Amino acid sequence: MTKLSVNINKIATIRNARGANNPNVVQVAKDAERFGAEGITVHPRPDERHIRYQDVLDLAPVVTTEFNIEGYPDERFMEIIRTVKPTQATLVPDPPHVLTSNSGWDTITHLELLKDIVAELKSYGTRVSIFINPEVKYFEPAKLTGTDRVELYTEPYAAHFHANKELAVKPYAEVATIAKDLGLGLNAGHDLDLQNLRYLKECIPFLDEVSIGHALICDALYYGLENTIQLYRRQLEI
């Protein structure tokens, strides 16, 4: 079964736009779980453009499904994971000022760094996932880091889906099998939406988790959050 983790970054974007506490990030997380979210994902970026570190502390005691915290493993990120000990930490190689995540890790170059970080995170009892591009060369080094899972960076899949979905999914299906053979758990995320999610699931049925935020929150503006979460859940029920 593939779990749906709802990324609530953009709820915080709307909240920050007016400087008060509407929408209430904690209440949305609780409601999202009540509506069927099987996890809550947040990505506290260094500039706190949306999710703030305080949000992470406020969310930790109320998230009852799986709490997934994404980010670059700088000292502040490591400190928040040390404090919160979430279900999962997803390591993302984002520089501080990128518009959004735009690549997975070079697990060859950063193998030693990632080994140390993964070991520390796992010592907190937190499952670790490493954001990764669908390139075969990165997968054996990913295994050597000791990570529990990898998360396939699916922006390229989404970008090419409408032009040729068979071609778009091909590298993902290939590396998914490699990950499985290596004993790595498999997550996926970035730019997944109601048009491209089902096909990804059909081609990679053993996905453990998808984390979806931007498109889901945009869809919720039209369909409502409860309906939208159910619509996304149905894409995974095959």
Numbered residues of the known binding site for 1-deoxy-D-xylulose 5-phosphate: 45, 50, 100
Q: Which helix (H) or strand (E) holds 89?
A: strand 88-91
**107 contact choice in ligand LD2JLWAY, ligand DXP, none (CB below 5 to 8 Å, kind-dependent):** none
Active-site residue (options: 33, 38, 43, 66): 43
Catalytic residue among 38, 70, 151, 209: 70
By CB under 6 A, the residues from 70 to 89 that bind ligand LD2JLWAY are 70
Round the CA-based radius of gyration of the chain to a whole number and report it.
17
Tell me which residues in 206-235 interact with ligand DXP (CB under 6 A). 211, 213-214
List 191, 209, 220, 232, residue binding ligand LD2JLWAY (CB under 6 A): 191
Residue 168 CB, nearest distance to ligand LD2JLWAY (Å)?
Answer: 16
Q: Is 123 exposed, middle or buried (0-12, 13-18, 19+ CB in 10 A)?
A: exposed
Asked if 11 contacts 23 with a C-beta cutoff of 8 angstroms, the reply is yes
x-or-dash string of contact with ligand DXP, 67-86, rule CB under 6 A: ---x----------------
Instruction: Compute the least distance from the CB of residue 156 to ligand DXP, in Å.
Output: 12
Distance (Å, whole) CA 162 – CA 179:
26
Count CB neighbours of 143 within 10 A: 16
CA–CA gap between residue 55 and residue 7 (Å, rounded) = 13
Q: Which residues are marked as active site?
A: 43, 70, 190
